[in-house]
Amino acid sequence: MENQIYYCENCGGVMEFDVETQSLKCPNCDTVVPILNEKERIVEHSLTRHAVETIRAEEKSTQTMECRGCGARIEVDPTSTAVECPYCGSSYVLAEKQEDAIIPDGVLPFQIDRERVGELFRRWLKGRWLAPGELKHLYQRERLQGIYLPYWTFDAKADARYTAMGGRHRTVTRRGPNGKTTHRVVTDWYPTSGSLRRVFDDVLVPASHKLDGDLLRRAGVFGTQQMASYSPEYFSGYGAECYTVDLEDAHKEALQTMERELEQMAADDVLRRFDEVRDVRVQADYRDETYKHVMMPVYTTAYTYKGKRYHVLINGQSGRVEGDYPKSPAKIGAIAAAVLIIIALVYWFSQSGEERGYAGVHEPQAAEARVDAAWLTEAEIEEENWWVYSEDSLPT
């Protein structure tokens, strides 16, 4: 990725990528310069053994900055000598080494601007009912940073065979020695097999493990329909991290994702003919495999509360917010106390109702009240030797 500053031709200000226009825009005079987006330049590379081992087809030197706090390698404005790390919040990064980096094949530009993402973050904070009250005031716009994360994408055509056990339910009816009839559902299992075909397109694998994987998954997947051809203009005003996951490791992870999807397809296929499924095994052959290196947008922030660090991640395309936050012991205690009070009140009212229902009732009427309250069957009533009557059967 090129370290380049774009100056406005009208006023000389530094232009940045603008989400609304998807162009470069001067924050001083609002001059807009379109960014060339050539979809045909988003190239899928054949996944050859040579590519897996080298991935050096289109590479160039670029300066990266390494954070001494957490070790993240990121691209920053070439004029900056000190910035804040979007991962750990450290207030410095130092240029320590030159790295070779593959030029991205595509970029998913930010679809949500900083003003909108600030609103989303504040709304997320307000929705954390168990968070301490003072947490609602921790939002600081300047600490919420936009950064492009590196990803690998993989395409493949899969031909697969599967084996599984399919279960069919049947009901067994038995009459016991006391004359009571019981029903039980049993499952008969049968071996089954089948074939599957699936075309995988843009299976995304993070090319960096700097962000928590679970947090990244919770923030939602990215749609690649809005992918644009790589242009360094998209990075103006934003940071970008270099990939740290090799293509070979990413490919293995992609195959695991594909296999899970094929197993689910096989299970669904079995359930079209059976009531249950188990022991699904899939053997797949993959062909026409391709890959590309792309950049995806996220907003990140990190804050400290009572000595502990918390991270929040916002999907730069969908706006989904996910993150960790402290829980207030006082609020948790109040909720627990309220639940206990409700349980106690329900118990007290139920006991009071039973006492009012039985007070002053003759024995036959009391028996009838117990039957109605318990919703017993006629057979259960006979077993208990209770006397049930209607008004028509009362002695005159």
Match 């299992």 to its residue by tokens: 189
Confirm if 319 and 305 have CB atoms less than 8 A apart. no
The dihedral sign for the CA sequence 78, 79, 84, 90 = positive
Match 């740290």 to its residue by tokens: 244
Highest averaged pLDDT of the listed ranges 5-19, 78-92, 335-349? 5-19
CA–CA distance from 65 to each of 68, 84, 243, 295 (Å)?
10, 11, 13, 18
Strand partners, 171: 185
pLDDT digits (tens, 9 = 90+) for 232-274: 899 888 888 888 888 989 999 999 999 999 999 999 999 999 9
> What phi, psi does 363 have (nearest 5°)?
-60, -45
175 burial type by CB count under 10 A (0-12 exposed, 13-18 middle, 19+ buried): exposed
Domain residue ranges in the chain:
44-160+190-327, 328-359, 362-396
CA distance 36 to 1: 16
CA–CA distance from 135 to each of 5, 161, 238, 332 (Å)?
37, 53, 26, 16
CA distance 308 to 293: 35
Of 139 and 226, the one with more pLDDT: 226
Confirm if 233 and 24 have CB atoms less than 8 A apart. yes
CA distance 297 to 318: 10
CA distance 226 to 20: 14
Q: At 166, is the secondary structure helix, strand, or coil?
A: strand
pTM of the model: 0.70
The dihedral sign for the CA sequence 65, 323, 208, 225 = negative
Task: Find the range with the poorest average confidence among 94-103, 278-287, 351-360.
Answer: 94-103
pLDDT digits (tens, 9 = 90+) for 76-107: 554 443 456 666 665 554 444 334 457 889 99
Match 């993959």 to its residue by tokens: 286
Q: Please give the structure tokens belonging to residue 362.
A: 């003759």
Q: Please give the structure tokens belonging to residue 379.
A: 């057979």
For Cα atoms 42, 46, 49, give the angle at the middle one, nearest 5 degrees.
140
Summary count for the chain: helices (H), strands (E): 7, 15
CA distance 213 to 215: 5
Q: Is the pLDDT of residue 365 over 50?
A: no
The amino acid present at 96, given as its one-letter code, is: E
Q: Is the pLDDT of residue 390 over 60?
A: no
pLDDT at 237: 85
Mean pLDDT of 54-68: 50
Q: At 189, is the secondary structure helix, strand, or coil?
A: strand
Match 């996951």 to its residue by tokens: 245
The amino acid present at 181, given as its one-letter code, is: T
CA distance 61 to 269: 50
pLDDT digits (tens, 9 = 90+) for 165-213: 999 999 988 888 888 888 889 999 999 999 999 999 999 999 988 777 7
